[in-house]
Amino acid sequence: MLEFLQYQFMQNAFLAALLVSIACGVVGTYVVIKKIVFISGGISHAAFGGIGLGFFLGINPVLTAIPFSALSAILIGALAKKVDISEDTAIGILWSVGMALGILFINLSPGYAPDLFSYLFGSILTISNTDLIIMLVLVLTILLIVGLLHREFTAISFDEEFAEVVGVPTKLIYLILLALVALSVVVLIKAVGIILIIALLTIPAAISRQFTYKIPQLMLGSVVLGMVLTMAGLWLSYVFDLASGSTIVLVLAIAFLITFFLKKKFDIIK
Amino acid sequence: MSVVNIEGLYYKFKEDYVLEEIDLTIEKNEFMALIGPNGGGKTTLLKHILGLLKPDKGSIEVLGLLPGKANKIGYLPQRSSYKSNFPISVFQVVLMGRYNHFLKNYDKIDHKMALKTLKKVDILDLKDKHIEKLSGGQLQRVLIARALVRDPELLILDEPTASLDPQFQGKFYELLSKLKKEMTIIMVSHDIGVVSSYVDSIACLNRKIYCHGPVEESVEELEKAYQCPIDLIAHGLPHRVLRNHGN
């Protein structure tokens, strides 16, 4: 059963799955409890503009995706707070503008972009050593920021107004949180693809939220669940020769359904 | 030294003034009830004192500082501003009231204060519960503890008794009478009858401040603020109002 691990690309895929689980477990917890799922969706789609820019400039698209998605995260946050438009409108605009820019850049790029689909739908099997190093740096950055600012993130997620009163710079912390989402989006891009990122940012946290109300446990649970389920999805996709990103997401969704009904049943027994 | 000093404050929401020519001084250790009809701007005024809103005109000073800069403020918001199904325990919510600044972890003193305050509001036994599992009254006590745990010099309560269980309500007012020796209290309330026997002064707000002073003197002015006064005073203010306050 483990013979597939002897391939370099499989080893890379598993390391990637590990990093992906950490990023989505930690950041996904805030995405779920702060209820910023659709902002995160907007940020992940806007990141496609950064991917396109990478193709256009002829450099690693993951590298250009970092400033691009971070910038769009901050733009969504700032637009919604400063200008008199609602947040979901800001999300909608940046979501589509990011995608449009990405396609335009690729259009203008010389030649053909063969692995374009891998950024849209993910291809965890083509992750290179360079990609892994970028992902590792991003994950460490995420962990460092959360380690330093978790009190502030929890405070603004629970009660923004009260947080402001006790001296939390809520607007700044909110923008940092969105930037964190942007970083995790970049970690996830190659593994599951832009279109499926939101599944990994929400489903593990949504599952473990049903079983605990303590945020550290929630994060740890999401990370472990993310690991087990992405590995399972990866293995299934290998065995049945299916698209890896889609298989991972479907495994997550099935796990959510099972735990949801189990939880319901247990609650009735209690 | 006055704790809150507001001069000539105007605040406009869209086209209309919600607050107009507000002059208000609240002295140290004053227990003031802020009353007035719904939509009269009570919460809006509190938010100016807290630094959550900026006035269009006029100046505010809180504890000698600009609003938002003053740190020793305890605040009990109205129900709507938080999520009651948030994954957090009672103790952790109260601990958040001890927030100090960036990178500073909650220390032993913070933990001790949180436990002490939970005891003060009689819910120490609930400290490890998920807030989702609490009744409305219990949750309100948690939020009262969160406001008190800061050891504030100014306590701002926005309709604190709205969802309190009746057993605790009396106790809560007793607690406030004790606390006012240590701090200044501003409380928004609809419960004029009960309030008047505990507070030092009443301010009536309906876009403008109609009066601010000791309870008895303010009663007559109430009608101007409410605009359908006789009814309200007859029902809302029992006889003891005028009796109890000789000072």
Q: What residue of B is the nearest CA neighbor of A161?
A: B81
A218–B89 C-beta distance less than 8 A: no
Q: B160 with B187: CB under 8 angstroms?
A: yes
Q: Distance, in angstroms, between B81 CA and closest chain A CA?
A: 6
| pLDDT at residue A4 tops 70 | no
Chain A residues with CB-CB distance to B83 below 8 A: 35, 158-159
| Contact state of A162 with B75 under an 8 Å Cβ cutoff | yes
Does A84 score more than 50 pLDDT?
yes
B244 reaches A (C-beta below 8 A): no
Closest approach of B63 to chain A, Cα-based (Å) = 14
Report the share of chain A in percent with pLDDT over 90: 60
Please check whether residue B210 is in contact with residue B202, taking contact to mean a CB–CB distance below 8 angstroms. no
**What does the pLDDT look like over A99-129, one tens digit per residue?**
999 999 988 888 776 677 888 888 888 889 9
* Cβ-defined contact of B86 to A157 (cutoff 8 Å): yes
Q: Give Cβ neighbours of residue A111 (< 8 Å, ≥ 6 apart).
A: none
Q: Which of B83, B94, B132 best probes binding to A when mutated, by most A CB atoms within 10 angstroms?
A: B83
Whether pLDDT at A268 is above 90: no
Task: Compute how many other C-beta atoms are within 10 angstroms of the C-beta atom of residue B217.
Answer: 13
Question: Looking at the complex, does the CB of residue B150 fall below 8 Å from at least one CB of chain A?
Answer: yes
Separation CA B42–CA B188 (nearest Å):
7
Would you state the structure tokens that stand for residue A148, as one six-digit string?
């330093």
Is it the case that residue B172 has pLDDT exceeding 90? Answer: no
Closest Cα in chain B, distance from residue A149 (Å): 7
Contact A158 B100 (CB under 8 A): no
> For the segment B185-208, what is each residue's pLDDT rounded down to a tens digit?
999 987 777 777 888 888 889 888
Question: Residues A116, A106: contact at Cβ < 8 Å?
Answer: yes
How far does the CA of residue A72 sit from the closest CA of chain B (Å)?
26
Confidence of residue A133 (pLDDT cuts 50, 70, 90): very high
Contact call for residues A255 and A207 (beta carbons, < 8 A):
yes
Task: Say how many CB pairs under 8 Å bridge A and B.
Answer: 72
- Residue B217 pLDDT more than 80? no
For residue B151, which residues of chain A lie inside 8 Å, CB to CB?
A: none
pLDDT, residue B50, reads 93
**Domain-by-domain residue ranges, chain A?**
3-259
Is A156 in contact with A180 (CB distance < 8 Å)?
A: no
CA distance A98 to A120: 13
pLDDT tens by residue, A155-169: 999 999 999 999 999
Whether the pLDDT of residue A243 is over 80: the answer is yes
CATH (residue range B2-72+153-244): 3.40.50.300
Residues 6 or more apart in contact with residue B157 via CB below 8 angstroms: B76, B144, B147, B185, B186, B187, B188
pLDDT tens sequence across B220-241? 666 666 654 433 343 344 433 4
CB–CB of A165 and B93 under 8 A? no
Share of chain B above pLDDT 90, in %: 48
In terms of pLDDT, which residue wins out, B89 or B178? B89
Topology (CATH) of A3-259:
ABC transporter involved in vitamin B12 uptake, BtuC (1.10.3470)
Q: Which of B82, B87, B99 is facing A212, going by the closest CB pair?
A: B87
CB contact under 8 A, B88 and A162: no
Q: What is the DSSP string of A80-122?
A: HHHSSS-HHHHHHHHHHHHHHHHHHHHHHSSS--TTHHHHHH-
The alpha carbon of residue B48 is apart from the nearest alpha carbon of chain A, in Å, by 11
Give the pLDDT of residue B15.
85
How distant is the Cα of A164 from the closest Cα of chain B, in angstroms?
A: 7
Ranges B105-114, B172-181, B203-212, B235-244: which has the least confidence: B235-244
**Ramachandran region, residue B204 (left: φ > 0; alpha: ψ -120 to 50; beta: rest):** beta
Domain ranges of chain B: 2-72+153-244, 83-151
Give the separation between CA A250 and CA A254, rounded to whole angstroms.
6
pLDDT in tens, B66-91: 988 888 899 998 876 677 789 999 99
Averaged pLDDT of chain B:
84
Distance CA A266, CA A142 (A): 35
Cβ-based contacts of A163 with chain B (< 8 Å): 96, 99
CB contacts, 8 Å: B73 with chain A: 165
Cβ pair A121, A246 in contact under 8 A = yes
Closest CA of chain A from B232, distance in Å: 32
Quick check: A158 and B77 CB within 8 A? no
List b or e across A35-52, with b for residues whose CB sees 16 or more CB atoms inside 10 angstroms: ebbebbbbbbbbbbbbbb
Q: Which of B 101-120 lie inside 8 A of A, CB atoms? A: 101-103, 105-106
pLDDT at A269: 45
Helix (H, G, I), strand (E, B) or coil at B221: helix
- B243 has a pLDDT exceeding 50: no
| Model confidence at A221: pLDDT above 50 | yes
Pairing of strands B201-206, B31-35: parallel
A-chain residues within 8 Å CB-CB of B101?
Answer: 167
What is the structure's pLDDT at B97?
94
> Mean pLDDT over residues A250-263, rounded?
93
Cβ within 8 Å, pair A168-B99: yes
Whether B11 contacts B19, CB under 8 Å: yes
Task: Give the ipTM of the model, two decimals please.
Answer: 0.85
